[in-house]
Each structure stands twice: as structure tokens, then as C-alpha cells.
Amino acid sequence: MNYHLFRWIPIIILSVVTTGLAQAEEHRHQNHMQHESHSQHQVSNVQHEHIHHVHKSGGWMLEYRLMRMEMDNMLTGSNRVAASDVAKMGSLYKNSSGGDYMMAPTDMSMNMHMLMGMHAQSDHLSWMVMLNYLDNKMGMINRMGAQSTMTASGLGDVEIGAMYKLYDKDSAQFLLNLGLSIPTGSINQQNSQGILPYTMQLGSGTYDLKPSFTYRDNQNQWSWGVQASYTFRTAKNSQKYSLGNRLEGQSWIKFSPIKGSSVTTRLTYSDWQSISGSSKDITMMQRNMSPTFDALNSGGKRLDASVGISHMFAGGHMLGVAYGIPVYQNLDGLQMRAKQMVSLSWQYMH
């Protein structure tokens, strides 16, 4: 774990030096009509696509965001694998006992409804709280060709955070964010066959530390920025496992052709570790039945590209939409392949 973190320190430092400015700039430009504004949070994980920012003292912001991620079939490494090739007799892909899987996932959709509030205590310090509601659906196929569906929905983990402006000069900003994820999302989702697999659970089950650095800058109609963030799992959860630590870096360029409107292109790179331990309620039969129940099938790397448009309306309202696709995926074991991501957002700033 330490090696994984330390080998990324140079990249984190570089991103740190870039993200804050980029955010600061985006901030000013989008809120040109009122006060400094902000950017957005990465659609790639349907679970983090927010570039943190601070407002003028006394200012506040409310945001609703709907993020949807769709997946289909599977990957082993970067090689695509059909679900029907996994769930069959004589398959090349073996379970932990050396036998054939009886089932495999065919597709999955993950919808996240996010509500975030932010308040500026001063020109340099802002506080944030974020609530999530998740709606997950996964299709399965067995070796006889019969298909089934499992679902899970409910509140996810709550995140709180403090954002501090370390540097603010001319058109550039450098920001530090310290976040804490509180395990309010269920890790005990079940159906009639027993507990659901890891990807269907609604939370991490652990208190997670989420530091990030942002640098951003702008020149007339153009702005750019970078952000580095890390998610650190502090312990194993009540199911006796912990999700892998996660490193994320993103960069963006924004162009504003007319006042109040902007087009943003973004690259987001994610590197996450495998699950540590295994769920105490997942049986050996389940682990042998489907790769989704085996903690060995977790961890990986992904690079996403996205484009988004947004417009600021009178009165402090802003609407935005973004669409992204993975351009590179390298997954450990057998995991579902990310297909596409969509994000819709509404913000109100005062």
C-alpha cells in the first residue's frame, strides 16, 4: 500500500501545482455574473467528478448532479471477454477452486443522485457536505443461457470536507481539499440468494480520507487546470474487507465562446488497488459461481475522456451536461468493462 502511494508522489505534486489554479480560474469565469465559481467532478467513476473551489466570504452554493455509468461484458487485463465465454463448461477462465464459473455479468448500470451544499466561511476557507443516493442494476447470464437481474438502491456514503485557498494571484489559484467519507451506505445489500457482490453494495463501510490538490489558471476565453486526489481506506469494514485505495488525476481545458457558456474537455486517470480481505457473508459457493463475488477480481487502471457544456443563467443558476468514454482500461482478474458515462447537473450560487 505504501509503495502504491509513494510511487505517485511526483505526479501528485505536479497535479497539486496545477489543479488549484485551474479551479480558481474556472471559478471566476463561470460565476462571472456573481462571484468566483467552480468546475466539475469527474464523471468517470460516477463517484467523483467534482473539482473543489472556494467562494467569496459568506457565499454558498447548492448543486444537484445525476451521474450514470454503463458497463457491459468483461475484461481481463485490457482484453475483452464475452460473459457467455466465462459462464460455460470448459471455459478458459477459472474460479478460485480451479473450476468453471456458473454465471457471469452481462451488463450493469450505476446511477448516482448527488446533492451537495457548500458555504464560504471566509475568502479562503469553504465547507462542503455531499449526500448520495445510488441505484444499481446488474444483468447476469448462466451457462444454460438463462438471464437474471439483481438490483440495489439506497443512500450512499456521506462526504464532508474543508477547502482552503493556498494561493490566489492574478488568474491562478492553488487549492487544498481535505475530505472525509462517512460510511452511511449499506454493505449488506441482499436478494433471495444471499448477499450481493461487491460492486452492488452502496458504500465502502469504512471511514475514508480524501485529500486533493487543485491548480487552475485562465487567460481570456480559455482556462485549464489539473487535480490530484487520493482515497485512503482507514480500516476494514464490518464485513471484514476494505475497498482498495484509489489515486486519481485529471486535467481539463475549457473554452468560453460567449459570456456565461463554456465547453470543457477532460482527461481523468484512475488507479485503484484490489479489495483487501473478503466479505464474511460471501460463501465459497458464491465465489465459485461468479467472478463478481471474488475479491481477486478487483483493482485496475482506467483513462477516461469527456466533453461537457454548461451555461450560467441569470439569478445564479447553471445547467451542465457531460459525456465520457474510457479510452484505456486494464483491469485485474475478470471485471466488467466500463462503456460510457453521462452527467447532468444544476447549480445555484448566491
Separation CA 185–CA 203 (nearest Å):
4
Quick one: which of 317, 306, 256 has its CA closest to 25? 256
Asked if residue 233 lies in contact with residue 204, where contact means CB atoms within 8 angstroms, the answer is yes
Query: Strand 125-142 vs strand 79-81: parallel, antiparallel, or unpaired?
Result: unpaired
- What's this model's pTM, rounded to 2 decimal places? 0.84
2-349: CATH topology: Porin (2.40.160)
Q: What is the pLDDT of residue 50?
A: 52
Cα separations (Å) of 293 from 235, 290, 338? 21, 6, 18
What residues have CB less than 8 Å from 303, skipping those under 6 apart?
A: 267, 268, 269, 270, 326, 327, 328, 329
pLDDT tens across the length of the chain (350 residues): 443 444 444 344 344 333 333 343 344 333 333 333 333 333 334 444 455 555 678 889 999 999 999 999 899 999 999 999 999 988 999 988 899 999 999 999 999 999 999 999 998 999 999 999 999 999 999 999 999 999 999 999 999 999 999 998 888 999 999 999 999 999 999 999 999 999 999 999 999 999 999 999 988 899 999 999 999 999 999 999 999 999 999 999 999 999 899 999 999 999 999 999 999 999 999 999 999 999 999 999 999 999 999 999 999 999 999 999 999 999 999 999 999 999 999 999 98
Q: What is the pLDDT of residue 53?
A: 56
Q: What is the 3-state secondary structure (H, E, C) of 134-166?
A: EEEEEEEEECCCCEEEEEEEEECCEEEEEEEEE
What residues have CB less than 8 Å from 33, skipping those under 6 apart?
A: 260, 312, 314, 316
Quick one: which of 236, 247, 220, 246 has its CA closest to 280? 236
What's 94's DSSP letter?
B
Domain boundary assignment for the chain: 2-349
What stretch of H or E contains 349?
Answer: strand 317-349
Q: What is the pLDDT of residue 56?
A: 72
What would the grid cell of residue 180 be? 472525509
Separation CA 114–CA 48 (nearest Å):
10
